[in-house]
A and B are shown apart, each in its own frame.
Chain A
Amino acid sequence: MVKMNSSKKRDRLEVIYDILQIIQANQNSIKPTPLLRKSNLSSQGFKEYINELKEKELLKEAVDKKNRKYFTLTDKGFKYLEKYKTIMGFIEEFEL
């Protein structure tokens, strides 16, 4: 189970990482309501992040055989998860 960091305020990149990691941990397929619950965000904040992630093509929305929506990662989303730690290291090193 993916543990959410709720004790301190997460920065934007960390929230994105957490959302993408939840999707990945759920075998790359999760419905909106469980994702909202696990992401530890308000519904307004969740909506904003999901729109941003869709816009940036880090995840995509799909429909299953029963016409239910679910989220899945794109290749770019997988790449984000892979590169996240190194990018954060770079940002911290140069204090950006």
Chain B
Amino acid sequence: MTDTILVGIDGSPDSRRAVEYGITMAKKDKASLVLAFVIEWSEYSFNTPEENEQRHKRREEEIKTVKERVLDPMLESLAPEDIEMKGVVRHGQVAAALIQIAREQDANQIVVGRIGQKTISTVIFGSVVTKLIQLTHIPVTIVP
């Protein structure tokens, strides 16, 4: 069984470096790569009824945007690397969601950048890394 490396991405240069590091490792270990994009979202926020009604539509739009703008171009640009690769988009708290995806994909290792693009929906910054370290069940590599 081959190893699986999970790389958390958010479209920032830092996460690009994390992906490059992930590729180097994957080549060395003959591992497969999972690129995970987490859209920051809380199931405990308070919404107006109208927002609730629109939520399903928004969610699909958010996922589509992430796929079109970040994930698909990245997968495409990495296609020549000859590594087994797939992308996952998920809503949730970044650290918890990454670990959830790691469990589902049976990953042996998580790679993330240190600081990410700081927008409302896509945040992987300091505290996320700290949280990730506290929650993780597998080794985590942080690429500066």
Whether A associates with B in a native complex is: no
Contacts from A to B (Cβ < 8 Å): none
Contacts from B to A (Cβ < 8 Å): none
